[in-house]
Amino acid sequence: MNIPMASQKPVSAVQRPKEIKRGRPKKTKSEISTAAGAARNNGHEIRSVIHALDLLEAICADEVLDSHDKIGELRLTRLSRQLGLSKSAVFRLLATFERRGYVEHLSDAGIYRIGMNAFEVGRRLLTRMHLLQLSRPIMEELGRRCNEAVYLAIRRGSEFLFMDLVESAQQVKIVPLVGKRFPLERAAPGQVILAYSEAVVSLESESAEGWRADIRRQGFCHEQGGLGEMVGCLATPLFDGTGEVGGVLCLVSPAFRLSGVQIEESFWPLLKEAGETISFKLGYMKPYMGGGRL
């Protein structure tokens, strides 16, 4: 049987090899993924900020000048050489940090050192870490005794942030709020912060001062609905060694489990005891010296 042949294009006597397209070799999937990840990371980085942070870290690591250093110029030279930046670039960064208080310039010696603003930022971070470490075991004990969710909140500007949680074993519970922020005026933790913020209190009306005075007199704040519909919250302040509110200890539960009778007879005495224990560990001594705030 004859099989029809497919039409063919005429072939020249001399067959030329196919042209090979030259270009970059193909990358494997892993290489493509790695390159894409690096590109994303680089796309989110700001080189000038990286240089500024490198400079700050360099000053932190080498604040004490060697006895052989020449005053002024050699310090700038050392930083320039260490960071791989020009002297003018390093000088501009130092001048910026100096204006913001993160670096101090000792004009007599011609050297730079870390400024108080940098120390303050570090102190705040350490304080919060210290607060978490000290509070956690007491929060766990409070959670076992109350069988309700126990939260630790801190102020963040005009808001408060829930930064730690000991969950309740109850079947009916509130969706976890760790990492959530709320306006200070909205719920009990923020209202406690405002109540003990003298700078704010002095600017408020007499009516606002009334409920804040009630919180300071009672030592706690109880409200419903601020964190969500049918959500109740009982909060008390945590004082640091300076007498300022360093955090707020809270019980959060469905509103029906935080009735007035339960608060007076059970929850508040336990919350107060836990709050005073944490405050004492933070260095707050006034209640033991006859000058308590609560």
pLDDT per residue over 60-76, tens digit each? 766 544 434 443 344 77
pLDDT in tens, 138-166: 999 999 999 999 999 999 889 999 999 99
CATH number, residue 189: 3.30.450.40
Tell me, what DSSP letter sits at residue 228? S
Mean of pLDDT over the chain: 79
**Is 90 within the bounds of a domain?**
yes
Residue 17 lies in a domain: no
Classify residue 38: in a domain, yes or no: no
Same structural domain for residues 247 and 210?
A: yes
| Final residue belonging to a domain, choices 114, 139, 155 | 114
**pLDDT higher than 50, residue 38:** no
Q: Cβ-count burial of 252 within 10 angstroms (0-12 exposed, 13-18 middle, 19+ buried)?
A: buried
Question: Do 108 and 165 lie in a common domain?
Answer: no
Count of the separate structural domains present in the chain: 2
Strands (E), 63-147: 103-106, 111-114
Please state, in angstroms and rounded to a whole number, the distance separating the CA atoms of residues 75 and 14.
74
The pLDDT of residue 14 = 39
Statement to judge: residues 75 and 144 lie in one domain: no
Which residue among 97, 114, 131 closes a domain? 114
Q: Is residue 197 situated within a structural domain?
A: yes
Burial class (CB in 10 A: 0-12, 13-18, 19+), 1: exposed
Do 197 and 260 belong together in one domain? yes
Rounded to the nearest 10 degrees, the angle between the axes of helix 47-61 and helix 73-83 is 120
For residues 92 and 161, state if they share a domain: no
The closest alpha carbon to 250, from 212, 292, 221, 289, belongs to 221
Same domain, 191 and 283: yes
Please say whether the beta carbons of 154 and 242 come within 8 A: no
The answer on 218 and 133 residing in a single domain is: yes
Residue 39's SS3 state is helix
Together in a domain, 153 and 250: yes
pLDDT at 1 over 60: no
Q: How far apart are CA 218 and CA 173, in angstroms?
A: 27
**276: enclosing H helix or E strand:** helix 268-281
Q: Which residues of 70-98 are buried (b: 16+ CB within 10 A; e: fewer)?
A: eeeebbbebbbeebebeeeebeebbeebe
Same domain, 90 and 107: yes
Spatial distance between the Cα atoms of 216 and 231, rounded to a whole number of angstroms: 23
Residues 6+ apart with CB under 8 A from 13: none
Are 59 and 128 found together in one domain? no
Q: With respect to residue 33, please indicate whether it lies within any of the assigned structural domains.
A: no
Last residue of a domain, one of 95, 114, 133: 114
Q: Which residues contact 118 (CB under 8 A, 6 or more apart)?
A: 56, 60, 101, 102, 103
- Centre a 10 Å sphere on the Cβ of residue 150 and count the other Cβ atoms it contains: 28
Residue 191 banded pLDDT, cuts 50, 70, 90: very high
Tell me whether residue 181 is in a domain: yes
Length of the chain as a residue count: 294
Instruction: Provide the CATH number for the domain around residue 48.
Output: 1.10.10.10
The mean pLDDT value for 33-47 works out to 57
pLDDT confidence of residue 202: 41
What's the pLDDT band for 265 if we cut at 50, 70, 90? very high
Span 34-54, mean pLDDT? Answer: 69
Assigned domain for 158 exists: yes
Range of the domain at 76: 43-114
pLDDT band at 105 (very low <50, low <70, confident <90, very high): confident
Over residues 264-288, the mean pLDDT reads 91
Position 204 pLDDT exceeds 70: no
The whole-number average pLDDT for the span 107-130 is 75
Summarize the confidence of residues 248-259 as an average pLDDT: 95
Question: Which is more confident, 231 or 80?
Answer: 231
Kindly state whether residues 247 and 140 are assigned to the same domain.
Answer: yes
Q: How far apart are CA 69 and CA 227, in angstroms?
A: 59
Whether residue 6 is contained in a domain is answered as no
Q: Clarify whether residues 131 and 200 are in a common domain.
A: yes
